[in-house]
């Protein structure tokens, strides 16, 4: 019952946040220089006065600003995010086509970063001051300071051009017409390099956070009690230290889960991955404002959803939070 109440409370707050995002999204196009109808007419390649008048009537731009806002919110609630004259289709359909590819990439990168970061951080904490700790710390600092696009290009150069282990670009082999498991394996083969590149930066953050949290709890009373009982070091590390040290890592991971989409813009561009990150980059170059607004809205909603999921995961990892809610 308390869990359902907590979910309802978070969902209610999230509705307010999403409405604020919708309002900000509406203001973005209104704050852009020039007439929005002229911008859309330029995207369509037709800039005569009759066509712009039709656009103003179609999108309600000839109405007062408050009516335009109501019109925009009503369209968003119906799933209408506008029309891309550059692409010749609705923004909602464009994003729906590209979103699964982005979720696949960011989800894989997130799981890789979180699992690998926790494992490496645990090893560094267990071997604090020794060679494994030094190696993990040095690699973490190096990859944290290295730009994502450079790691991506070097990965292509090493693993695709020189070694030929993985494809350099795209999501599938063009013209292969694969089906079933062959298609799944082909996508997974293309996924390795972009997911590794995107997840590497976040992996270093999680490894450092895990190490610091575990070193903070290793001298606490409950850990000393576990040692005094004669429990095996691996059990103490896994059941006592890691479980109590992982909460800050979950907090950070929940905040950064939505930010992965921002990092995916660079990664998808380098690897020609057909997701909404690449779509946003192309829209920025082409000044396709309707697409940019749609991507901004969808990614903002994704951040809100990830924050709610993080709160729920908190209650699973530490039941004391749910008990006190």
Identify whether 150 is part of a domain. Answer: yes
Give 39's pLDDT tier (boundaries 50, 70, 90). Answer: low
Identify whether 110 is part of a domain. Answer: yes
DSSP 8-state code for residue 230: T
Sign of CA dihedral 142, 144, 150, 156: positive
Question: Are 246 and 209 a contacting pair, CB within 8 Å?
Answer: no
At residue 152, the pLDDT reads 86
At residue 5, the pLDDT reads 72
Identify whether 117 is part of a domain. Answer: yes
Residue 54 above 50 pLDDT?
A: yes
Residue 2 above 70 pLDDT?
A: no
Domain range for residue 110? 100-284
How many domains would you assign to the chain? 1
Provide mean pLDDT across the span 290-315: 78
Identify whether 243 is part of a domain. Answer: yes
Question: Cα(48)–Cα(236) distance, rounded to whole angstroms?
Answer: 74
Distance of CA 225 to the CA centre of its chain: 40
Provide mean pLDDT across the span 67-92: 79
- pLDDT tens, residue by residue, 120-157: 888 888 787 788 888 888 888 888 888 888 888 888 88
Range with the lowest mean pLDDT among 13-17, 89-93, 127-131? 13-17
Identify whether 207 is part of a domain. Answer: yes
At residue 263, the pLDDT reads 64
Provide mean pLDDT across the span 179-200: 87
Provide mean pLDDT across the span 24-28: 77
Closest by CA position to 320, among listed 250, 248, 244: 244
Kindly report the number of other CB atoms within 10 A of residue 16's CB atom. Answer: 9
Q: Please indicate, yes or no, whether the overall pTM of this predicted structure exceeds 0.85.
A: no
- Scan for tokens 């925009």, then name that residue: 72
Q: What angle do CA 15, 18, 22 make, to 5 degrees?
A: 135
Question: Cα(103)–Cα(75) distance, rounded to whole angstroms?
Answer: 25
Residue 195 above 70 pLDDT?
A: yes
Q: Residue 41, by phi and psi: left (phi above 0), alpha (psi -120 to 50) or beta?
A: alpha
At residue 324, the pLDDT reads 46
Burial of 90 (0-12, 13-18, 19+ CB in 10 A): middle
Range with the lowest mean pLDDT among 48-57, 160-169, 268-277? 48-57
At residue 199, the pLDDT reads 87
Residue 323 above 50 pLDDT?
A: no
Which residues, including other chains, have CB under 8 Å from residue 43's CB and lie 6 or more apart? 84, 85, 86, 286, 287, 288
Question: Cα(78)–Cα(80) distance, rounded to whole angstroms?
Answer: 6
Residue 185 above 70 pLDDT?
A: yes
Identify whether 105 is part of a domain. Answer: yes
Residue 320 above 60 pLDDT?
A: no
Question: Are 94 and 291 a contacting pair, CB within 8 Å?
Answer: yes
Residue 177 above 80 pLDDT?
A: no
Select, from the ranges 9-18, 156-165, 312-321, the one with the highest average predicted confidence (pLDDT): 156-165
Provide mean pLDDT across the span 37-50: 64
Looking at residue 268, which CATH number applies to its domain? 1.10.3720.10
Structure tokens at 272: 């020609």
Residue 159 above 80 pLDDT?
A: yes
Identify whether 235 is part of a domain. Answer: yes
DSSP 8-state code for residue 128: T
Identify whether 34 is part of a domain. Answer: no
At residue 149, the pLDDT reads 81
Question: Cα(109)–Cα(256) distance, rounded to whole angstroms?
Answer: 12
Provide mean pLDDT across the span 199-213: 86
In the chain, % of residues over pLDDT 90 = 1
């Amino acid at each position: 019952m308390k869990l359902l109440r907590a979910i309802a409370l978070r969902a209610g707050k999230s509705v307010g946040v999403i409405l604020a995002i919708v309002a900000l999204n509406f203001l973005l196009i209104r704050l852009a220089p020039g007439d929005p109808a002229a911008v859309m007419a330029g995207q369509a390649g037709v800039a005569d006065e009759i066509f712009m008048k039709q656009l103003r009537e179609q999108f309600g731009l000839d109405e007062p600003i408050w009516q335009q806002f109501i019109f925009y919110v009503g369209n968003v609630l119906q799933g209408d995010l506008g029309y891309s004259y550059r692409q010749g289709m609705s923004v909602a359909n464009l994003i729906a086509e590209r979103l699964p590819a982005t979720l696949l990439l960011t989800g894989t990168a997130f799981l890789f970063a979180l699992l690998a970061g926790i494992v490496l951080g645990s090893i560094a904490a267990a071997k604090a001051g020794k060679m494994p700790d030094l190696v993990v710390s040095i690699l973490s600092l190096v990859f944290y300071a290295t730009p994502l696009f450079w790691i991506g290009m070097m990965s292509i150069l090493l693993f695709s051009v020189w070694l030929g282990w993985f494809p350099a670009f795209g999501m599938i082999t063009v013209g292969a017409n694969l089906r079933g498991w062959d298609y799944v394996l082909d996508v997974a083969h293309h996924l390795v390099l972009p997911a590794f590149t995107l997840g590497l930066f976040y992996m270093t953050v999680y490894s450092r956070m895990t190490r610091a949290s575990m070193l903070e709890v290793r001298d606490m009373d409950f850990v000393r009690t576990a040692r005094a009982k004669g429990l095996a070091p691996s059990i103490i590390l896994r059941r006592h230290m890691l479980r109590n040290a992982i909460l800050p890592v979950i907090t950070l991971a929940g905040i950064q889960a939505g930010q992965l989409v921002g990092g995916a813009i660079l990664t998808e561009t380098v690897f020609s991955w057909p997701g909404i990150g690449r779509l946003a980059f192309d829209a920025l170059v082409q000044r396709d404002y309707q697409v940019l607004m749609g991507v901004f809205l969808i990614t903002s909603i994704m951040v809100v959803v990830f924050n709610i999921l993080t709160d729920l995961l908190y209650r699973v990892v530490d039941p004391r939070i749910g008990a006190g809610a």
